[in-house]
A = this chain, B = another copy of it.
Amino acid sequence: MRFELEATLTFSDEIEDAKEDVEAIISKANDDLLRRGVPVEVEGGGAQVIDFSVEQDKLSLNIVSDRYVRAHDAVLRLKKAFNQELGPEYHVGVREVKIDQYEIQFELDREAKEDFSLPYVDEIEIDGKNCELNISGLTQEQLSKNYVDRIINRVKEKIEAQYYEGKEEMWELLWKSEEKKMVWEEDPTEAMEEKGWIKRGPTKGKWFYRPEAAKILKTLEDIVIEEVLKPLGFQEIIESMMVPFDVWIDTGHMEGIPNEAYYISEPTTRNPEEWEEIIDEIKITKDVPLEKLDEMTETPKAGICYAQCPVIYWSFRNETISDDSLPVLLYENTVPSTRYESGGRHGIERVDEFHRIEPVYIGTKEQLVELKEKLLERYKHVFEDVLDIEWRMAKVEPFYLQQAGGKKKEEEADLGTVDFEAYLPYKGARGESEWLEFGNLSIFRKYTDAFNIKSQTEKLLSGCTGIGIERWAIAFLAQKGLEPKDWPGKFRSYLGDMPEGIELL
């Protein structure tokens, strides 16, 4: 790794008189200050000012360094030294640090398959495993905020992604139920739409669930709560559906799914007088003047719930949880989730707005590994004894891990994610058709770190298990049909009577 930096320090006054002192400070720094932090076994390591010049109030520096004292850190160390040592005598201080040119060379793990660009980087030159970046125009603030490291990481990540592109998720069968008798082979969404149980919603990818369908969804919720969550001691919480970007930055959603989020835009003002003109326009035209509305609404600073766990983690940010309360077992069943899906007509198993019960757990590794087994047992009970469906469990590797480096991957391997999949007879034969992922269960290290959630004693991990009610409904209905007489007794006892519905002519 090699860094070469050209920077200009602007002082509060002329420093030509101080040129000799400047030279002395640099010379001393080259021997000491710019080598601090370098491991003893690395000879000649650190940063070195290899050239400098003084003109009026400006000091130009040319710094070369290795990984141990990166050149952009060296320039900040030097700034401090000049302030301390020139200040008392010459009454000057550094007003501005300007990066004129920054050249960074480092080695890649793999060769890049194709070129790419990055913000803040003027040029990326990759030759085999050698990478050279040219950067100009970063401010001192950006340097001290660690932009350079993140730029280097992003280069490596992008190359890594080039290798994963198009590759399938890792998938490993853990368990599968017996084959079961299927009641029919219809697509439940189409059949329910025909019967008037559901109606396509007023905007893309949403549904209106009339009483019959709503009853089925709510019955599944009851089953989850009574058969899975209450027996294990989960407590319900209620969160806001609006997630500010800082929370999504901490969970990684902001960089992971910005293209799939629904965003929230607030009015620029609540003052009715300032809305009078747009109201006049709406009253006269019976239409919304979008350009004016654009002016009256803010750029989004929050999105609508994508998964419920981020806000639950946020609620514990920087908190220390009493050992008596561990493992923390919570679930959220109030806010709808949204995902901006691609166009086309899908069934209720793939929608832009859906309903998920999201249990979240925080505890020690032992507690969570034990909980995982208990959860799997309760799920198995529900799928087998209450819903009586044909399903299987698989170990999968989520997308973000595929892009992660080697060490991170290893660390997570013993925790990981389990998917629940159901056979959908309307999609074709068992062995040939895609099964529906209708639930999952994960344990993570990253969220307790990202939100700084601590216990009194041990390191905490966390996890969640998404229970998408529409997907449970499709898993069930695709196998069991729409006639209550074909549904298992235990399900029917949760259901009670089907509602009468509304007859439309």
Task: Write the residues of chain A forming the contact surface with B, with a CB cutoff of 8 angstroms.
Answer: 118-120, 142, 145, 147, 150-151, 153-154, 157, 199, 201-203, 206-211, 213-215, 217-218, 235-247, 249, 254-255, 258-267, 269-272, 274-275, 277-288, 290-291, 293-294, 296-297, 299-302, 304, 311, 314-316, 319-322, 324-325, 328, 330, 334-336, 340-342, 353, 355, 456, 499-505
Known A-B contacts A254-B288, A284-B154; A244 and B202 likewise in contact (beta carbons under 8 Å): yes
Q: Find out whether the CB atom of A281 lies under 8 angstroms from the CB atom of B119.
A: yes
Q: Please, could you name 10 A-B residue pairs with CB atoms under 8 Å apart, sorted by A?
A: A150-B286, A202-B240, A209-B238, A210-B315, A214-B237, A235-B499, A255-B279, A265-B297, A320-B505, A328-B502
Closest to A285 in B: B147
Given contacts A262-B264, A322-B503, 20 further A-B contacts (CB under 8 A): A119-B281, A145-B286, A201-B311, A208-B315, A209-B239, A235-B500, A236-B499, A242-B262, A249-B286, A258-B267, A259-B269, A259-B275, A261-B267, A263-B267, A263-B297, A270-B342, A321-B502, A321-B504, A324-B503, A335-B336
Q: How far is the CB of A89 from chain B (nearest CB, A)?
A: 39
Nearest residue (CB) in B for A246 is B202
Given contacts A238-B355, A239-B201, A275-B258, contact A270 B340 (CB under 8 A): yes
Q: Is the beta-carbon distance between A301 and B297 smaller than 8 angstroms?
A: no
Q: Chain B's nearest CB lies how many Å from the CB of A82? A: 28
Pair A282/B263 contact, Cβ less than 8 Å: no
Contacts of A237 in B (CB 8 A): 208-211, 214
Query: What residue of chain B has the Cβ atom nearest to residue A470's Cβ?
Result: B238
Q: A242 contacts which chain B residues (CB < 8 A)?
A: 201-203, 206, 262, 353
A153, A202, A241: which has the most chain B beta carbons within 10 Å?
A202
> Closest residue of chain B to A315, judged by CB?
B208
Check B207 against A240 for contact (C-beta < 8 Å): yes
B284 contacts A294, CB within 8 Å?
no
A300 with B293: CB separation less than 8 A: yes
Q: B residues within 8 A CB of A258? A: 267, 275, 278-279, 282, 293, 296
- Residues in B with CB closer than 8 Å to A321 are 502-505
Contacts of A213 in B (CB 8 A): 238
> What B residues does A302 contact at CB under 8 A?
203
- Structural contact, B262 and A208, CB atoms closer than 8 A: no
A275 CB, min distance to chain B CBs, angstroms? 4
Return A37 CB to nearest CB of chain B, in Å. Answer: 24
Q: Which residues of the partner chain B approach A325 to less than 8 Å between Cβ atoms? A: 500-504
Question: Chain B's nearest CB lies how many Å from the CB of A191?
Answer: 18
A432, B188: Cα distance in complex, Å: 58
Report the 3 A-B pairs with minimum CB-CB distance, sorted nearest first.
Answer: A322-B503, A206-B240, A211-B235
Give bound CA distance, A321 to B502, whole Å: 8
Closest CB-CB distance, A222 to chain B, in whole Å? 12
Closest residue on chain B to residue A199 by CB atoms: B315
The reply to whether A249 and B287 contact each other, CB–CB distance below 8 Å, is yes
Shortest CB distance A171–B (Å): 22
* A386 CB → nearest B CB, Å: 21
| Of the residues B267, B316, B322, contact of A340 by C-beta under 8 Å | B267
Known contacts A243-B202, A319-B504: does B294 contact A297 (CB below 8 Å)?
no
Contact call A249/B499, Cβ cutoff below 8 A = no
Whole-angstrom CA separation of A274 from B214 in the bound complex? 37
Q: Which residues of B contact A241 (CB under 8 A)?
A: 241, 336, 353
Do A265 and B264 form a contact, CB below 8 Å, given A151-B284, A206-B242, A255-B283? yes
For residue A272, which residues in chain B have a CB less than 8 angstroms away from its CB? 259
A308 to chain B, nearest CB (A): 11
CB–CB A264/B263 < 8 A: yes
A120 partner residues in chain B, CB cutoff 8 A: 284
Residue of B nearest to A310 (CB): B202
Query: Closest approach, in angstroms, between the C-beta of A209 and any C-beta of chain B?
Result: 4
Nearest-Cβ distance from residue A251 to partner chain B, whole angstroms: 12
Bound complex: CA A217 to CA B209 (Å): 24
